[in-house]
C-alpha cells in the first residue's frame, strides 16, 4: 500500500472500528458503551461495514473525488471485513485485498481443529 499509493496518487485512509481506540460511542464512556446488550448492539461487523461505507462515501464527496476508485485492505479480522465490504458494498469499493482472513472459519463450515492442525504442520 505504502509503496504503490504514491504511484497512483492514492490517499490511504485507516478507519478505526467503532468501540476501539478513540471510537468509543456514547461520549467515549466505556462503562456506558459496554454496559448492556442494547449499547453493545452497535459492536458488530455489520455496523462496522456500514460505518466504513458512510465514511468513504462522505470522504469522497468532501474531497471532490466522487469518481475515485476505492480498494479496501485488511489482515486477519480486517481482511474478513475487507472481503465482506466488497461483497456488501460493491458500489463503494472496486476491489478488496484480504490477507490471512479466515473467512471460512465458522462453525459447520470448517473443522474447529483446522487452525491448530495447520499450525502443528507448520511447526
Question: pTM for this structure?
Answer: 0.81
Residue 110 binned pLDDT confidence (cut-offs 50, 70, 90): confident
Residue 48 binned pLDDT confidence (cut-offs 50, 70, 90): very high
Residue 112 binned pLDDT confidence (cut-offs 50, 70, 90): confident
Please give the DSSP secondary-structure letter assigned to residue 99.
E
> Other C-beta atoms within 10 Å of 97: how many?
15
Q: What SS3 class is residue 98?
A: strand
Cα separations in angstroms, 122 against 114, 116, 117, 118, 119:
12, 10, 9, 6, 5
Domains of the chain: 5-122 (3.40.50.1820)
Per-residue model confidence (pLDDT) at position 19: 87
Per-residue model confidence (pLDDT) at position 95: 96
Higher per-residue confidence, 57 vs 108: 57
Residue 32 has pLDDT above 80, yes or no: yes
Amino acid at each position: 500500500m505504502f509503496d504503490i499509493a504514491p504511484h497512483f496518487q492514492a490517499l490511504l485512509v485507516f478507519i478505526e472500528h467503532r468501540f476501539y481506540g478513540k471510537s468509543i460511542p456514547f461520549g467515549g464512556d466505556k462503562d456506558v458503551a459496554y454496559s448492556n446488550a442494547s449499547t453493545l448492539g452497535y459492536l458488530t461487523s455489520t455496523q462496522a461495514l456500514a460505518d466504513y461505507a458512510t465514511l468513504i462515501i462522505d470522504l469522497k464527496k468532501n474531497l471532490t473525488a466522487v469518481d475515485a476508485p476505492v480498494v479496501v485492505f485488511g489482515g486477519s479480522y480486517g481482511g474478513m471485513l475487507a472481503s465482506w465490504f466488497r461483497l456488501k458494498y460493491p458500489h463503494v469499493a472496486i476491489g478488496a485485498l484480504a490477507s490471512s482472513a479466515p473467512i471460512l472459519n465458522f462453525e459447520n463450515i470448517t473443522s474447529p481443529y483446522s487452525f491448530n492442525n495447520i499450525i502443528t504442520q507448520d511447526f
